[in-house]
Amino acid sequence: MHAGFVAIIGAPNVGKSTFLNQALGFKLAITSDKPQTTRHRLLGVHHTPEAQIVFLDTPGIHAAKTALNRRMVAVAWEALAEVDAVLFMAEVSAKGMERAAALAPRLAALKVPVVLALNKIDLVPRKQALLPLLERAAGWGDWKAVVPLSGLKGDGVELLVKELSACLPEGPPLFPEDVITDLPMRFMAAELIREKVFRLTSQEVPYGVAVTVDQYLEPPDEDHPVAITATIHVERSGHKGIIIGKGGAMIKKIGTQARQDLEKLIGQHVFLDLLVRVEPKWSRREQGLSKLGY
């Protein structure tokens, strides 16, 4: 058996979290069409009879300007020190290939095996157009393999998992068979709420949003709901108004969608109470980052 850690590295919005969810068959990482949705290192365990891959999903690597963004990029690079192999993910768009080419030299210099995945091949109009992209990416470094992928549709996921498994050392499983992640339920609840804010609000709002779970009460039996109280933190009073919405319509929509996902995750009814609080410039201050869990 092969078992080990694999870091998923790449620029923002290349589909790292979408691939992870496909590989696990479980929604572990939140996703949205906005860059920098992933802010933490997430651990997800993929089990097969032949291998156990412990994936570390990481924030997208980008030119970081705020304290929050600098911390996110540091989390991504630090993950490389803990792993047996790396999944370098790139997007096949012109901009995606350009960003990946800039990251490639540092990843090609690593002493662990690196598998390169070209994601979002479903966006390439003709199959003939994919070959030059694969050849170009292969020239960026000495990769163990270059795999075309559509994380959204699941095409290439099985092949990519197989290539990564072959990079891992032989050894016993690192986690029990029934473990998918080490993340606590409070963390996952906060992430699901933040996902709904990212998906439902306008472009500028999500980047100043953080979510903390103030209370997570498990009931004495399954006939009663799990009671969760959470706070959505924003940097501006105007953003608070957007999240609450006219007559409370937006906060109700965020709460309803988050509650539905939480009930699927937990497997029982959830009572979700959401508050919105202004925390000025939290993403630009070290004190604010620490206070809100970064």
- Domain boundaries along the sequence of the chain: 2-166, 185-291
Torsion sign across C-alpha atoms 242, 245, 249, 252:
positive
Statement: the pTM of the whole predicted model exceeds 0.85: yes
- The mean per-residue pLDDT over the stretch 20-49 comes to 92
pLDDT digits (tens, 9 = 90+) for 244-264: 999 999 999 999 999 999 999
The chain-wide mean pLDDT, for the chain, equals 94
* Both structure tokens of 134: 């694969």
pLDDT exceeds cutoff 80 at 293: yes
Q: Which two tokens stand for residue 215?
A: 């209370």
- Average the pLDDT over 219-231 and give the result: 92
**At 33, is the pLDDT very low, low, confident or very high (cuts 50, 70, 90)?**
confident
Check: CB of residue 286 under 8 Å from CB of residue 68.
Answer: no
Q: What is the pLDDT at residue 204? A: 74
Per-residue HEC secondary structure of 164-233 comes to HHHCCCECCCCCCCCCCCCCCHHHHHHHHHHHHHHHHCCCCCHHHCEEEEEEEECCCCCCCCEEEEEEEE
State whether residue 255 is helix, strand or coil: helix
CA distances from 194 to 147, 190, 205 (A): 32, 6, 11
Mean pLDDT of 87-105: 96
Percent pLDDT > 70 in the chain is 100
Close Cβ partners of 266 (under 8 Å, ≥ 6 residues apart): 185, 226
CATH superfamily entry for domain 2-166: P-loop containing nucleotide triphosphate hydrolases (3.40.50.300)
Confidence of residue 34 (pLDDT cuts 50, 70, 90): confident
pLDDT-based confidence at 197, cuts 50/70/90?
A: very high
| Element housing 23 (H / E) | helix 16-24
> What is the pLDDT, as a whole number, of residue 28?
93
Pairing of strands 51-57, 42-47: antiparallel
pLDDT at 205: 83
pLDDT digits (tens, 9 = 90+) for 35-79: 889 999 999 999 999 999 999 999 999 988 889 999 999 999 999
The string of pLDDT tens digits covering residues 154-190 is 999 999 999 999 999 999 999 999 999 999 999 999 9
92: DSSP letter? S
Residue 260 buriedness (CB in 10 A; 0-12 / 13-18 / 19+):
middle
**Residue 257 region, left (φ>0) first, then alpha (ψ -120 to 50), else beta?**
alpha
78: CB partners within 8 A, 6+ apart: 41
User: What CATH class is the domain 185-291?
Assistant: alpha beta
List the structure tokens of 21: 């969810």
Q: What pLDDT, on a 0 to 100 scale, did the predictor assign at position 262?
A: 96
Asked if residue 213 lies in contact with residue 49, where contact means CB atoms within 8 angstroms, the answer is no
pLDDT at 241: 94
Tell me the mean pLDDT in the region 188-200: 95
Q: For 118-163, what is each residue's pLDDT tens digit?
A: 999 988 877 778 999 999 999 999 999 999 999 989 999 999 999 9
pLDDT at position 64: 83
